[in-house]
Amino acid sequence: MPTNIPKYLPAEYSLRGHTSIVASSGGKETPQLAAALAEAGANVFAVGRHQDAVDAIRSAVSATTGLATPGYAGRWDSPDGASDVLASFASSYPRVDILVNDTRSFFAKPAAEISMEEWDELNSRNVRATFMLNQAIGRQMLAQRYGRIVNVISNLAERAVINCSAYSATQAAVLSLTRSFAVEWGRSEIRVNAVGSGWSTADDIPLDTQREELLVRYTPMRRKGHPRDLAAMLVYLCSPHCDYPSGQPVYIDGGSNAHP
Amino acid sequence: MLENLYLDGKVVVITGGGTGLGLEMVRALTRSGANLAIAGRRAGPIETARDEVIAAGQDAIAVPTDVSKSSDADALIQATMDHFGRVDVLINNAAMVAENVLKPIWEISDDDWDTAMSVNLSGAFYCARAAAKTMADAGKGKIINVASGFGLRGGRDIYMYCTSKGGVIQLTRVLSFSLARYGITANSIVPGFIPTIDPSADINRTLPQSGDFLPTGKLGKPEDLGPIAVFLSSDASDYMTGEMFILDGAGLASGIAPTGHAPVAGLEP
């Protein structure tokens, strides 16, 4: 085992020498997920709809590695946008091994009141942008015959909650794309999986405060999820040793998905 | 953020730990610093596995166990408590694969059914029952059940294996919901086709002999279970419960089909 892998990290979780593109819609979870990839040894290229989202990833990664982190800010839910991301990436790194796509904009509103503008914008950010980025990076992975893609989703891909019709539909769509890419690109050594979170926060909120929320009290583990709950699984799904798992969601949601 | 993957002396009880998938999980857990209570029906393989763990610098015991007898399951947990003083993780991995699967339903005897169900499903229940109280008293514990893709899909004439493994996935969900309040998590590992069994066993005639029919083009290897066994045994998985980790070459994401693709068709006008 190379000495630069920390003792606590199983060799199968090492991402040393691998380069990732981490895409964020601006949520506070993504920077911590990117930091986990960096801790496992991956290079990170940050992508975000806004400069703030990119900067948050860069500073979280730099705090872990001490190195500057390149990035791209701008929308990529069009073919031009996705190729701009890749052109920018190519000026920093020669090859992409990993895509972590955490581009979920949350949205909650009664179904009867959702406007078509809201529906289209949400679908463009959550579904169209996911397709574009998976497709653009997938093409490179097909050419090099290797890749690991993880789409970060919500457990609302599996069930309904009041006011989340549009958001849940986008999450189910991303899960479906995850299965399809896994099946279509499997022979090219590309693995595509999803990590699903539940009711979560990127802040460290005291348990008593969390439990004032009804949804926390209905979560079997009786607390919100945190990006650190996804970190190790995400790293594994990005690793070259994650060879047999593909096309599946892994829900880490405090037991909500198995709850009646 | 990833330090909590290290098992640092956690005590893991694993059934069916002397061979196949179980042995590879034992090896990965050992590398991550676990101590092990290794159970299996036959003494030989589990004693060899125990010696391997001890030679690698961790502590281990071998406990001959027939999980289909609840008294054996109770004795396994007691032997672990006697030696280590705690049970942090239980991995229910023991299963009967080589059932007489190629019979039509009307030729399956009561004994065929009962034997397979008692090893694959009752065995997991007995071990979980024996370990859960100890874990609840400690305020923390992890139960990991090894199920199968056949627990989610039906196989022709594979009545007992499919039914018992489907039961294991449901057992996991009930354990997770019931034991969450005691700090105990329960999850299933759901492997697809991973050759480990005697190639001459009857069941092989209904299983793929290569990965040609899987989207990834290859079958799994027993070593593929190691990293996920470590994750689910570690504090890194504390917020995951009631869930499945599926590793199956994208078989369940699609289906086993000889062509695997739809003909290209343009968008309707």
* CATH classification of the domain holding B46: 3.40.50.720
Cross-chain residue pair B227–A242, CB shorter than 8 Å? yes
A33-47, A74-88, B58-72: least confidently modelled range: A74-88
Model confidence at B7: pLDDT above 60: yes
A36 vs B: CB within 8 A: yes
Cross-chain residue pair B224–A244, CB shorter than 8 Å? yes
In a domain, A5, yes or no: no
In a domain, B266, yes or no: no
A4/A18 Cα distance (integer angstroms) = 14
B79/A42 Cα distance (integer angstroms) = 43
In a domain, B73, yes or no: yes
pLDDT one-digit tens code per residue, A101-135: 999 999 999 999 999 999 999 999 999 999 999 99
Cross-chain residue pair A258–B243, CB shorter than 8 Å? yes
Can you give the CATH number for the domain in which A230 is found? 3.40.50.720
Question: Looking at the annotation, which residues of B are catalytic?
Answer: 161
State whether residue B141 is helix, strand or coil: strand
Across the range B228-250, mean pLDDT stands at: 97
Helix (H) or strand (E) holding A116: helix A116-123
Q: What are phi and psi of A213, to 5 degrees?
A: -85, 135
Tell me how many degrees the CA angle A232-A10-B140 measures, rounded to the nearest 5. 60
Model confidence at B43: pLDDT above 60: yes
Model confidence at A235: pLDDT above 60: yes
Across the range B5-22, mean pLDDT stands at: 97
A8 vs B: CB within 8 A: yes
Q: Which residues of A touch B216 (CB under 8 A)?
A: 186-187, 191, 243-244, 246
In a domain, A1, yes or no: no
Model confidence at B185: pLDDT above 60: yes
Q: Which residues of B touch A204 (CB under 8 A)?
A: none
- 8 A C-beta contact, residue A93 and residue A19: yes
In a domain, A260, yes or no: no
B69/A136 Cα distance (integer angstroms) = 55
Return the structure tokens found at A184: 């279509």
Query: Which residue segment(s) compose the domain that B89 sits in?
Result: 3-247
Q: How confident is the model at residue A1 (pLDDT cuts 50, 70, 90)?
A: very low
Nearest Cα of chain B lies from the Cα of A204 at a distance, in angstroms, of 14
Cross-chain residue pair B1–A228, CB shorter than 8 Å? yes
Beta strand pairing call for B60-64 and B35-40? parallel
Query: Which residue segment(s) compose the domain that A67 sits in?
Result: 11-251
Which of B28, B220, B246 is closest, CB to CB, to A10?
A: B28
Structure confidence at residue B83 (pLDDT):
98
Cross-chain residue pair B250–A247, CB shorter than 8 Å? yes
A149 vs B: CB within 8 A: no
CA distances from A63 to A34, A66, A102, A145, B199 (A): 11, 6, 20, 32, 52
Share of chain B above pLDDT 90, in %: 80
pLDDT one-digit tens code per residue, A170-205: 999 999 999 999 999 999 999 999 999 999 999 999
DSSP state letters, A196-251: EE-SB-SS---HHHHTTSHHHHTSTT-S-B-HHHHHHHHHHHTSTT--S--S-EEE
Share of chain A above pLDDT 70, in %: 98
Model confidence at B31: pLDDT above 60: yes
Q: If you measure CA to CA, which chain B residue comes closest to A242?
A: B224
Structure confidence at residue B205 (pLDDT):
65
Across the range B37-49, mean pLDDT stands at: 97
Q: How confident is the model at residue B155 (pLDDT cuts 50, 70, 90)?
A: confident
Nearest Cα of chain A lies from the Cα of B111 at a distance, in angstroms, of 33
pLDDT one-digit tens code per residue, B87-99: 999 999 999 875 5
Model confidence at B64: pLDDT above 50: yes
Mean of all residue pLDDT scores within chain A: 94
Structure confidence at residue B203 (pLDDT):
62
State whether residue A96 is helix, strand or coil: coil
Q: How confident is the model at residue A3 (pLDDT cuts 50, 70, 90)?
A: very low
- 8 A C-beta contact, residue A242 and residue A191: yes
Structure confidence at residue B263 (pLDDT):
75
Q: Tell me how many domains chain B contains.
A: 1
In a domain, A23, yes or no: yes
Q: Which residues of A touch B181 (CB under 8 A)?
A: 220, 222
Q: Which of residues 97-136 of A touch B (CB under 8 A)?
A: none
Structure confidence at residue A2 (pLDDT):
40
Model confidence at A27: pLDDT above 60: yes
B121/B126 Cα distance (integer angstroms) = 9
In a domain, B253, yes or no: no
- 8 A C-beta contact, residue A232 and residue A13: yes
> Hey, which residues does A19 pair with through a beta bridge?
A43
Model confidence at A12: pLDDT above 80: yes
Which of B191, B192, B227 is closest, CB to CB, to A236?
A: B227
In a domain, B267, yes or no: no
Q: Which residues of A touch B28 (CB under 8 A)?
A: 10, 12
Mean of all residue pLDDT scores within chain B: 92
> Hey, which residues does B141 pair with through a beta bridge?
B184
Structure confidence at residue B202 (pLDDT):
65
Position A35, amino acid: A
Q: If you measure CA to CA, which chain A residue comes closest to B222?
A: A244
Structure confidence at residue B98 (pLDDT):
58
Q: How confident is the model at residue B211 (pLDDT cuts 50, 70, 90)?
A: confident
In a domain, A4, yes or no: no
Q: Tell me how many domains chain A contains.
A: 1
Nearest Cα of chain A lies from the Cα of B98 at a distance, in angstroms, of 23
Query: How far is C-alpha A115 from the chain's CA centre?
Result: 27
Q: If you measure CA to CA, which chain A residue comes closest to B174?
A: A258
Q: Which of residues 223-252 of A touch B (CB under 8 A)?
A: 223, 225-226, 228-229, 231-233, 235-236, 239, 241-248, 250-252
In a domain, A3, yes or no: no
Residues A8-38 as b or e (16 or more Cβ within 10 Å = b) = bbbebbbbeebbbbbbbbbbebbbbbbbbbb
In a domain, A236, yes or no: yes
Which of B5, B218, B231 is closest, CB to CB, to A8?
A: B5
Structure confidence at residue B210 (pLDDT):
82
Q: Which residues of A touch B264 (CB under 8 A)?
A: none
Q: Which residues of A touch B217 (CB under 8 A)?
A: 186-187
Across the range A8-27, mean pLDDT stands at: 95
Q: Which residues of B touch A35 (CB under 8 A)?
A: 1
Structure confidence at residue B129 (pLDDT):
98
Q: Which of residues 167-226 of A touch B (CB under 8 A)?
A: 178-179, 182-184, 186-187, 191, 220-223, 225-226
Structure confidence at residue A77 (pLDDT):
86
In a domain, A155, yes or no: yes
Tell me how many degrees the CA angle A151-A157-A160 measures, rounded to the nearest 5. 155
